[in-house]
Amino acid sequence: VWVYGNSFESFLVAVVVPEKQAIEDWAALNSKSGDYAELCSDPKARRYIQDELNQTGKKLGLRGFEMLRAVHLEPVPFSIDKDLITPTFKLKRPQLLKYYKNRVDQLYKDAKMGTAQ
């Protein structure tokens, strides 16, 4: 999970690489079919993951402005080859922002218009 907060916005967005088994379990419970990538693009799957993350945040005492307003489900894991993580699996935040810039901008736009899923 990579959570991003634009300093000019009042809320957070995230790029999430969901556990394959978790998304497949969700699909089975919700009568959804498709491969992993198709499930990641399903708006209801995005809403489910966002709700799960926000529920966990509430349990841990996060406040409203610390909750996610939009998420993108990424079927391809962050990798060293893409220069998105270090060899010790730490996220490279500037590189992640550069790589996902268009997606992050769209998440903010959708969330402001109330169309974020």
* CA-based torsion, 83, 76, 46, 16: positive or negative: negative
Q: pLDDT averaged over the chain?
A: 94
Domain extent at residue 84? 2-114
Residue with the two structure tokens 């690489």: 17
Single out the residue of 61, 64, 66, 75 nearest to residue 103, CA to CA.
75
pLDDT at 117 exceeding the cut of 70 = no
Domain count, the chain: 1
Query: What is the structure's pLDDT at 46?
Result: 95
For the stretch 70-94, pLDDT in tens is: 999 999 999 999 999 999 999 999 9
pLDDT at 114 exceeding the cut of 90 = no
